Amino acid sequence: MSARVSWTTLALALCLGVSAGAHEEEAFEPPNADVDRDLDEALEEEYSEPARPDPPSMARPRAPDYAATVQREEARDRRVRVRLRMMAAYTHSLLSDVKLSKRHNGQGGDLVSFADSDTDADGNRFDFEGSGGGLYDVGLHLGKWVVLRIGARHAAFEETQQLTGFEGGTPGFDFGGTSFATGSDLTAKFSFTTVDYDTVVRPLNNDWVTLDVSLGGRYLRWETEFSGPSGIEDDVFEAWVPMIGLGLTLRPVRELGFFFKVRTGHISLEYDREDDDSVVVTDADTIEREHTALEVDVGLSLVFEDSFGFVAGYRGDYTELERTKGDDRKTLEASVHGAYAGFVIQF
């Protein structure tokens, strides 16, 4: 009985072990789809290249838009940028070729000439040595194309010499109501002042060249004083002259500019001076004026940071004035010229 139980127990254990082994093998067998997926992942991992960082963009830079650039520059030029430029300079002025006359109430009228030449054999000519003076200029720049400008110049001269009839000298003369005799000492004083104002248009203005065309006027004031043993005679000659001008500035570099400017003007007037409508106009009431002026200015400027700098040059002013009223008449012809140097400030 015990043997039968033992065999029965052994058979049952074997059946259970076989059944358990069958179930164990069936649990670890993957499906075909999982096997395919694992194989694909293994092959991809084995043979695929390692990931690389994205290369930098190789796109070509865009060509500059020249039309847009031009439009921006034109828009900038249309903006009205107001700037102020001031110049003050010391000038060493010389006086030459002075001729003047004054006839008043039928007296005087001699043309007096103060020679400035090499014909002075006896040292008796008037030689007006250089005199210090001032040269000033203020410009209001309205944008790139227009400048409102005002300037002034002043110079004074004085010389004492003996009147002589020798070659190169100045003989005696009558000036207004005073006679100055040959052989007497004469002290001559002259004062020259100009005030200029212009509207300047710049049809060409860039970093390299600037072209100026100006229209304006000049106020002139010439003061004369003669004193000698016979007395003192003085006179003031004032005049206004319309002026036109042309200027050119060349800049090899932005800071350095070489400039040349010429201005000239002429006016001839004839008019009647009446105090009221009841006065009968005669020849004595008719006034005739003829004024001529010429200015030439050449030099260079050196401006740093577009704010401050220096200016130096040479300027010459020629003046010719004539005024007649009845028997009264006075004339003036003179050249004032000289070098100058000063400072420039602009902001």
For residue 54, tell me if it sits in a domain.
no
What is the pLDDT averaged over residues 27-53? 63
Residue 40 inside a domain? The answer is yes
Residues 108 and 192 in one domain: yes
Residue 10 structural domain: 2-47
What single-letter DSSP state applies at residue 307?
Answer: T
Please compute the mean of the pLDDT values over residues 23-51 and round it to a whole number: 61
What pTM was estimated for this model as a whole? 0.74
CA distance 87 to 287: 38
Q: What does the chain come to in residues?
A: 347
Residues 310 and 224 in one domain: yes
Specify the pLDDT at position 128: 83
Report pLDDT for 24: 47
Q: In terms of domains, do 40 and 161 share one?
A: no
Mean pLDDT of the chain: 83
**Residue 153 domain flag:** yes
pLDDT in tens, 211-233: 999 999 999 999 999 999 999 99
Do 43 and 96 belong to one domain? no
Give the count of domains, the chain.
Answer: 2
220-267 pLDDT, tens per residue?
Answer: 999 999 999 999 999 999 999 999 999 999 999 999 999 999 999 999
Structural contact between residues 225 and 238, judged by C-beta atoms closer than 8 angstroms: no
- Residues 40, 89, single domain; the answer is no
Instruction: Verify that 123 and 212 share a domain, yes or no.
Output: yes
Domain presence at residue 66: no
Are both 111 and 179 inside the same structural domain?
Answer: yes
The verdict on 199 and 295 lying in the same domain is yes
Residue 60 placed within a domain = no
Domain contains 161: yes
Pull the structure tokens for residue 223: 């003061």
Co-location of 106 and 21 in the same domain: no
Beta-carbon contacts of 81 under 8 Å, excluding residues fewer than 6 positions away, are 141, 143, 144
Query: Both 9 and 155 in a single domain?
Result: no
Cα separation, 201 vs 215, in Å, equals 9
Residue 57 lies in a domain: no
Q: d(Cα 347, Cα 334) in Å, to the nearest integer?
A: 37
Residue 58 lies in a domain: no
What digits encode the pLDDT tens for the residues 309-344? 999 999 999 999 999 998 899 999 999 999 999 999
**SS3 state at 33:** helix
Residue 98 and residue 36 share a domain: no
